[in-house]
Amino acid sequence: MTRPEPVLSVVVPMYNEESVLPALASRLRAVLDDLGETYEVVAVDDGSDDGTATALGGLRAGWPHLRVLRLRRNSGHQAALVAGVLRARGRYVVSIDADLQDPPETIVEMLHAARAGDLDVVYGVRADRSTDSRFKRWTAAGYYRLMRRLVGKQVPAQAGDFRLLSRAVVETLRELPEPAPVLRLVVPWLGFPSGEVTYHRHRRAAGRTKYPLSRMAGLAAQSVTSFSAAPLRFATWLGLAGVVVCGLLVVFTVVAWSVGATVDGWPSLYVAILFLGAVQLLCLGLLGEYVGRIYTVVQGRPAYVVATDTATDQDADGHTAASRGVGGPTALADSLR
Ligand code: UDP
Ligand code: MG
């Protein structure tokens, strides 16, 4: 690579964000140009099918620091984020949403905090969520409470994916074999020295949310199953409880039979069958969650495929990387992503 690595990379995943792009570009550029550091902006176009790609192409003409990574298909916010972060070249890598809900001005504070405290991770923590809907706040609170129990207290309660990572953290992430790590959990789990910067989360500047309920549920399921076998253990306990209850029912039946009161045994039989059926189905479902994950990992199907990367000015898919002589475990891990 010819260009020296910049001090700062700003990764912006975007899916159909045509309407917000002009505002984003002008605000982000104002902040970054004033910073007095070398930087790159890695816009990850997550397979948008509106005018995002064209708009990015137009912006690039007048903004040489803008690098566009286009994924072949819509792979989801987390995958787009991982794609951008792992390919960013900066000494510090900040990820930020495209919709200006996270103020770009906070990036400056993050960088100062990282340097002043010699920190590897700086989380953007929301001071309040008053601009989010009550439903969003309620589900988010539940999600973070659960995650703090599963992963540990180092998961900040109100931090989304607005955060700064040092090069050391990014390199560690690159070595992980996980195809699509949930960064907001894996990063705290890694245990690097970290700090927080609080900010006010604003309303979406333009366009609509790309996070419907189904995606939120998907993220929650992925988060839980990627960090804990507790649900499986829950199934075991439930199964044990079922066995105990059935044991009691058997005793009851035998006693009833011995005193000759077995005329009408239908209700207890019916309840026992229903109960066992329910427990078995539940356990099968939970097992299926994990088997599904094993299946995905064994398949080794990448979570995204990069179509183009303006930084290399050529096809940035697997065989190009190989022809540039990238090898070893990182390349393997990379090909798994
Ligand atoms: N995003 C993405 N791929 C997707 C969905 C969303 O890259 O499949 C991006 C989106 O463009 C935005 C960020 O992820 O920059 C967060 O999405 P959004 O603002 O819609 O989520 P919300 O803030 O409503 O939770
Ligand atoms: Mg948003």
Which secondary-structure segment (H or E) carries 219? helix 213-227
CA distance linking residue 242 with residue 210, whole number of Å: 42
Same domain, 151 and 288: no
CB 95 within 8 A of CB 122: no
Measured in angstroms, how far is the CA atom of residue 233 from the centroid of ligand 1? Answer: 33
Is residue 3 domain-resident?
no
Same domain, 246 and 329: no
Say which residue, 319 or 53, is predicted with more confidence: 53
pLDDT at 173 over 80: yes
Measured in angstroms, how far is the CA atom of residue 17 from the centroid of ligand 1? Answer: 9
Share of the chain above pLDDT 90, in %: 42
pLDDT at 255: 81
Mutate to test the pocket of ligand 1, among 16, 17, 77, 215 (most ligand atoms within 8 A of CB): 77
What would the mean pLDDT of 285-301 be, rounded to a whole number? 77
CA distance linking residue 15 with residue 139, whole number of Å: 23
Say which residue, 17 or 127, is predicted with more confidence: 17
Q: Of the given ranges (3-12, 138-147, 163-172, 326-335), which has the lowest mean pLDDT? A: 326-335
Task: Check which CATH number belongs to the domain holding 32 and give it.
Answer: 3.90.550.10
The residue assigned the tokens 């997550």 is: 46
Domain span including residue 290? 230-299
pLDDT at 264: 67
- Band (pLDDT 50/70/90 cuts) for residue 171 is very high
Same domain, 79 and 58: yes
User: SS3 for 7-24, per residue?
Assistant: CEEEEEEECCCCCCHHHH
Considering every ligand atom, which ligand is closest to the CA of 98? 1
Q: Which residue's alpha carbon is at the smallest distance from atom 25 of ligand 1?
A: 211
Q: Phi first, then psi: give them for residue 151, nearest 5 degrees.
A: -90, -35
Same domain, 270 and 214: no
Same domain, 237 and 222: no
Considering every ligand atom, which ligand is closest to the CA of 11? 1
236-269 pLDDT, tens digit per residue, is 777 778 777 777 877 777 787 788 776 667 667 7
- Band (pLDDT 50/70/90 cuts) for residue 86 is very high
Same domain, 104 and 32: yes
pTM over 0.85: no
pLDDT at 319 over 50: no
CA distance linking residue 306 with residue 85, whole number of Å: 13
Same domain, 82 and 181: yes
Measured in angstroms, how far is the CA atom of residue 22 from the centroid of ligand 2? Answer: 16
Looking at the 3D structure of the chain, how many domains does it have?
2
Measured in angstroms, how far is the CA atom of residue 259 from the centroid of ligand 1? Answer: 67
Q: Which residue, among 125, 120, 113, has the nearest Cα to 92 in the 3D structure?
A: 120
Same domain, 223 and 289: no
13-54 pLDDT, tens digit per residue, is 999 999 999 999 999 999 999 999 999 999 999 999 999 999
Q: Which residue's alpha carbon is at the smallest distance from atom 3 of ligand 1?
A: 77
Measured in angstroms, how far is the CA atom of residue 329 from the centroid of ligand 2? Answer: 35
296: Cβ contacts below 8 Å, ≥ 6 apart: 179
Is residue 43 domain-resident?
yes
Same domain, 65 and 209: yes
Considering every ligand atom, which ligand is closest to the CA of 20? 1
Alpha-carbon dihedral angle through residues 299, 304, 310, 314, given to the nearest 10 degrees: 30
Residues with CB under 6 A from ligand 1: 13-15, 17, 46, 74, 76-77, 80, 97-99, 101, 209-211
Is residue 157 domain-resident?
yes
